[in-house]
Amino acid sequence: MKNQKTKTELLIIACSAGGMLLLIDLLANLKGDVGFAVLVIVHRNDKYQSSLEQMAQMKCKLRVKSAEEKEVIQPGVVYFAPAGYHVLIERNRTVSLDASEPVHYCRPSIDVSMQSAAEVYGSGVIAILLSGANRDGADGMRAVYKYGGITLVQNPADAEIDMMPRAAIETKAVVSILSDEQLKQYCRELD
C-alpha cells in the first residue's frame, strides 16, 4: 500500500471517543526499531489527570512521551499531544505547542497537527484516523493527501463512534478504509 519510493518519516494516529483501545493496539503492533516518529493526537480534557502515555508505554516497544515545546522530533519515539495544546510541527521539525482557540471544540486538534505535519513532511506522512464524535481530522486528512501522504481510516462499521471516519471519507482524500485487524497488520509491517 505504501509507495516504496517514499520513506515514512512521521506516522500520525488520531482518535477521539471510542478509539482508545484500538490506538493502544496499533502502537503495540509497531516494531521497536522503526525509522520514523509517531505523533498521537487524542481528544482529552486538560482538567483531568491522564495516564494515557503510561498505559501506551506498557504495550509499546518504542519510547512514549508527551510532546514538549521546541523538542526535536526523533525517529523511534511516540509523541502524545498534551491535553490543552495544539501540536504544530515547525519547518525545522520541532514541536510547537499552541494554546489558541479549540478547533471543532477540541484542543488538541487533529486537523491542526495533520495540516502542519503535511506541510513539513509532505509525502513522508502516514495518517490514521480512528473513532470519534465530530469532524476533527477530516481537513487534516485532506491536507496529508494533498501533500502526497498516505491517509487511512478505521472502517466506520468497526468504529465505536463513526462520525470522524465518515467525515474523512466524505472528503474523498482517504487512500484506504481498513478494518481494525487490517490496521493492526498495517502497523506491524511498517519500517
Active site residue 136: yes
113, 116, 136, 139: the active-site residue: 136
Question: Three-state SS for 150?
Answer: strand
154 has which bridge partners?
178
38 has which bridge partners?
11, 78
Active site residue 139: no
Active site residue 180: no
Note whether 59 and 24 are within 8 A (CB): yes
Q: Which residues contact 181 (CB under 8 A, 6 or more apart)?
A: none
Q: Which residues contact 168 (CB under 8 A, 6 or more apart)?
A: 129, 137, 138, 141, 151, 153, 174
Question: Three-state SS for 186?
Answer: helix
16, 109, 113, 131: the active-site residue: 16
Q: Known catalytic residues?
A: 16, 43, 136
